[in-house]
């Protein structure tokens, strides 16, 4: 797929104020700082489109980006950021899970996992929640440029083995780097394929 245009549409905390659910959309989710916003910029080849930061907790709202006038990429706030209050965490849970559960135009949840880490409980629990709610998802391993290919392969294999305890077959997965564009064609082709269904 060629990304001809990528345009910021709106930021929201309320599902009732989102754009009408008339175009397919793909939501990027994962722990704070995993690289959701950076991946959106890499996929669209627009550097400042989604706001990124070294400090976790940058993205706070549901952000819609319209691609090729045809479908949406959605940047979401991260989960698992230790330094936010309990009530903020509960707010996150409520509004993000409500969005994921109710958004009828959501085609697939893109779950981002840091390829440098061994399987994390919070990520596995989130995948299980998606499974329990019947929400289709794929895994996107991020930041592969930060360590050797061997280390990435090991962490990917471990995560897969954990996920196959619950999921059969294992959901599709992609290994990416926002830094060197690894995985860009694969992720865009996947979305293209779902849009064509």
Contact with ligand GTP (CB under 6 A) among 6, 35, 95, 173? 35
Q: What is the DSSP string of 100-169?
A: HHH-TTEEEEEEEEETTS---HHHHHHHHHHHHTT--EEEEEE-GGGS-HHHHHHHHHHHHHHHTTT-SS
Shortest Cβ contact with Mg ion: which residue? 59
Q: Is 59 in the site for ligand GTP (CB under 6 A)?
A: yes
At its nearest, how many Å lie between ligand GTP and the CB of residue 115?
9
At its nearest, how many Å lie between ligand GTP and the CB of residue 169?
27
Q: What's the CA gap between 184 and 177, in Å, rounded?
A: 8
CA distances from 164 to 139, 152, 171 (A): 13, 18, 9
At its nearest, how many Å lie between Mg ion and the CB of residue 49?
11
At its nearest, how many Å lie between ligand GTP and the CB of residue 130?
17
- Collapsed DSSP state (helix, strand, coil) of residue 40: helix
Residues 143-162 that bind ligand GTP (CB under 6 A): 143, 145-146
Q: Is 53 in the site for ligand GTP (CB under 6 A)?
A: yes
Residues of this chain that interact with Mg ion (CB under 5 A) are 36-37, 58-59
Residues of this chain that interact with ligand GTP (CB under 6 A) are 32-38, 52-54, 56-59, 77-78, 142-143, 145-146, 177-179
């Amino acid at each position: 797929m060629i990304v001809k245009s990528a345009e910021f549409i709106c930021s929201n905390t309320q599902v009732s104020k989102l754009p009408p659910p008339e175009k397919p959309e793909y939501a990027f989710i994962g722990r704070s700082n995993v690289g959701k916003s950076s991946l959106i910029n890499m996929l669209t080849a627009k550097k400042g489109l989604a706001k990124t930061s070294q400090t976790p907790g940058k993205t706070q709202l549901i952000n819609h980006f319209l691609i090729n006038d045809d479908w949406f990429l959605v940047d979401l706030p991260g989960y698992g950021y230790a330094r936010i209050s309990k009530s903020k965490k509960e707010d996150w849970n409520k509004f993000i899970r409500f969005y994921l559960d109710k958004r009828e135009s959501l085609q697939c949840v893109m779950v981002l996992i840091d390829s440098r880490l061994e399987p994390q409980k919070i990520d596995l629990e989130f995948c299980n929640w998606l499974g329990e709610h019947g929400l289709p998802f794929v895994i996107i391993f991020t930041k592969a440029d930060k360590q050797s290919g061997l280390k990435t392969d090991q962490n990917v294999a471990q995560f897969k083995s954990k996920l196959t305890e619950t999921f059969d077959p294992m959901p599709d997965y992609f290994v990416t780097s926002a830094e060197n564009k690894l995985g860009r064609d694969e992720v865009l082709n996947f979305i293209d394929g779902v849009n064509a269904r």
